[in-house]
Structure 1
Amino acid sequence: MLIGELSRRAGVNAHQLRYYEAQGLLEPERGANGYREYDETAVLRVKQIRHLLGAGLSSEDIAYLLPCAVGEAPVLPGCPELLAAMRSRLQRLDQQMAVLAHSRNALADYIDAAERTGSETYPPFDDLVPA
């Protein structure tokens, strides 16, 4: 099937499919005319990629895990190498969430302080902006 058909059947844009190819996640054949040609397994593979991206895995992580994936969801075997890769990604996500939570709390504190201060201590905004 051509890229447009795969795009329709997998529910993703053609540019995403080209990106997956560039990342080594999809490997289409090339027809005599130079067009990408995908076999039937490409639909399943794209769905697996989408699920793994949705879990927060990077393209690099997925390239490592994908050969072991089974089914659309997909199911991954519990071998030590795969578990280590997934645990590493989970740790990175936890760190990012901690940074975001800290930023959110700091911003909420600034908002709270600004609301407590009130507008009566500041000149009207129009007085601050040059005419």
Structure 2
Amino acid sequence: MRYDERAVAVARNIKELLGAGLTTEDVAQYLAAGCLDRPLADSPRCAAELRTAQRRLAGVDERIARLQEARGRLAAHHASVRSGVGPGGDEAPVG
């Protein structure tokens, strides 16, 4: 089976956008708007793509911040537990 240039461009664009971290819902919106009919590098980008990428990037930044906070709490807990464990992994004597 032979695919026309448009179909090949659409498939490549979908692969690129999913690889960049966009969701299938995001890509479906671009597809419906006709934004994926030509190679992305050869055509102007859709305005919706910029807004979506900004929103997705902000979401990733928020998750990273929450993970960094959780890591800090876990590291502090680990240090606390570690200081209470004696040589060989036994608990340090209390009192």
User: Are residue 105 (structure 1) and residue 69 (structure 2) matched?
Assistant: no
1:43-54 correspondence to structure 2 within 5 Å: 43-54=8-19
Equivalent-residue separation in structure 2 for 1:78 and 1:49 (angstroms): 14
Structure in which a larger fraction of residues adopt helix: 2
Equivalent-residue separation in structure 1 for 2:4 and 2:78 (angstroms): 54
User: Are residue 68 (structure 1) and residue 35 (structure 2) matched?
Assistant: yes
Which one of the candidate residues 62, 82, 86 is aligned to 1:95?
62
Match of 1:21 in 2: none
Q: Secondary structure at the match of 1:77?
A: coil
Structure 2 unaligned blocks of 5 or more: none
Deviation at 1:65, TM superposition (A): 2.7
1:13-28 correspondence to structure 2 within 5 Å: none
Number of equivalences: 84
Q: With CA pairs under 8 Å and 6+ residues apart, which has the higher RCO, 1 or 2?
A: 2
Equivalent-residue separation in structure 2 for 1:108 and 1:121 (angstroms): 20
What letter is aligned with 1:59?
Answer: T
Q: Aligned-pair RMSD on alpha carbons?
A: 2.7
